[in-house]
Amino acid sequence: MSTQPLIKKASAYVTNQDELMVFTHTDFPEAGVQVPAGTVEENEEPSEAVLREIYEEFGVKGVSIIELLGISQYNMTPYRDEIQERYVYHLELTQSTPSTWRHWEIHPSTSKNPIAFDFYWVKLDSSNLGIAGGQGYFLSKLVHKIKNSHDSAIT
């Protein structure tokens, strides 16, 4: 049995038609391409946390939750001594955004200084799109759902 703490996280796959919103840390490009995610606070539901995280990291409130795609566990060793229990949501954008933009996280959980993120949209396909840290785990499920929804809209 692991002695590592289990930390609840909420992650967002935000889509705009067949594109996925991703970002890189402006000052830490080695962190890789990521999707918005963060810790579920005490007395907070994962669905509330994902909306809060999108606003804090992305600067946008114009999203709606489509569904919980799944829950997985990810061992953060050697970066952190924790197991993350990840609640991964599909959300759709309900307001327009630029194709690329920079946003500073106003209330970062790990630093008193704002953290800059560079956001952009990538075309969804069946790969994990090079998403870092296991965050692409449910992307194939999302791609399948979007493709099926698009196919049924055509027929």
pTM confidence score: 0.88
What integer pLDDT is reported at residue 149 of this predicted model?
74
CA-CA distance, 63 to 54, in Å (whole number)?
9
Q: What are the pLDDT tens digits along the chain (155 aa)? A: 568 999 999 999 999 989 999 999 998 889 999 999 999 999 999 999 999 999 888 888 899 999 999 999 999 988 889 999 999 999 999 999 889 988 888 665 555 688 899 999 999 986 778 899 999 999 999 998 888 876 666 55
* pLDDT of 45: 97
pLDDT of residue 44: 97
Distance CA 17, CA 14 (A): 10
Half-sphere exposure for 29 (CA within 13 Å, toward CB): 0
**Which of 62, 74, 5 lies closest to 37, judged by CA?**
74
CB atoms within 10 A of CB 9: 22
Q: Dump the DSSP string for 121-133.
A: EEE--SS-TTBST
Q: What are the backbone dihedrals phi and psi of residue 129, each rounded to the nearest 5 degrees, phi first?
A: 60, 15
Tokens describing residue 40: 């579920």
Q: How far apart are CA 126 and CA 108, in angstroms?
A: 32
Pairing of β 6-16 and β 83-93: parallel
Alpha-helical (H) ranges within 7-138 are: 46-58
Query: Can you tell me the distance from the alpha carbon of 86 to that of 39, in angstroms, rounded to the nearest whole number?
Result: 9
What confidence score (pLDDT) does residue 37 get?
94
